[in-house]
Amino acid sequence: MVTPDFVRKGDKIAIVSTARKINKKEINEAIYTLESWNLKPVIGATIGIENNQFAGSDEDRRADFQRMLDDPEIKAIWCARGGYGTVRIIDLIDFSNFQKHPKWVVGYSDITVLHAHIHNFDISTIHGVMPIDVYKCKEEAKQSLKDILFGNQVDYKIPFSPKNKIGYCEGELVGGNLSILYSLCGSASSIDARGKILCIEDLDEYLYHIDRMLQNLKRNKYFDQLAGLIIGGMTKMHDNNIPFGMDAEDIILDIVKEYDFPVLFNFPMGHIEDNRALMLGAKTSLEVGGTTCKLRYI
């Protein structure tokens, strides 16, 4: 797995949208944050334009991302927001130069499309807070992103949850938004999770949808040789008038009950204010103990 060069003071960081529309005002806090880190924000052409719900046409979004991907002066691409739309352009992007000269791609939610696709090039990416969230996210979330971008050591200690499955494992960290991972199954962007640590999170889903998506991952053998499983925010879940009968955590435990890998709940990632940055693709150790839980890069 290739790790892109960590950024240094004075480096240029692009902000683009591959999905939903967003205006300049909504990323002002992110611009101030980059400048406070002594980085130079470069605002993409997709910021402030719109095509229905999207940040411009598919071609607008492809061209903006491609330009930043190929520009040697841009050291990281910070995706402005999620929503929906990245999958519409993923097969139109030329990653050949990027594979020779990798740089950080940062985001979460719909940006899981990019994380998964780039993972198959054996290049690390960063799952973390996006510009649209910066004004409301916790300082710890912003600091974790800064630390990873600048190459500082990041270790996480997570409070114990009684629903955890105790154990220890090592493997490359993969994953992101469950709905996106589900939608990518069978495509060129689907992840091979064998021997890896999978992290998942989701937002605004019905509980039976969570079960259906996890059943699909199971049928696609995501869990057969998985090293470990990390559960982030399962935020704003919904139920039908006739209850499903389990919450999101219990659905997950039911799906993986036949496997012996460790499972960690309540990791601070996803559609929450404390969305800590994760270096996807990095070799990681996961310790789920009776009182202490740790995630470390090794």
Instruction: Give the catalytic positions in this structure.
Output: 109, 201, 271
Task: Classify burial at 69, counting beta carbons within 10 Å of its beta carbon; exposed 0-12, middle 13-18, buried 19 or more.
Answer: buried
Please report where in the chains the tokens 């999770």 appear, as a residue: 193
**Residue 126 C-alpha from the chain's centroid:** 7
Contact 280, 126 (CB under 8 A): yes
Strands 292-297 and 197-203: unpaired
Q: How many CB atoms are located within 10 Å of the residue 190 CB?
A: 17
Q: Which long-range contacts (CB under 8 A, 24 or more apart) does 295-298 make?
A: 295/155, 295/156, 295/158, 295/230, 295/264, 295/267, 296/155, 296/156, 297/153, 297/154, 297/155, 298/170
Helix axes 248-255, 207-219, angle to 10 degrees: 20
Q: How many CB atoms are located within 10 Å of the residue 186 CB?
A: 9
Contact 171, 283 (CB under 8 A): yes
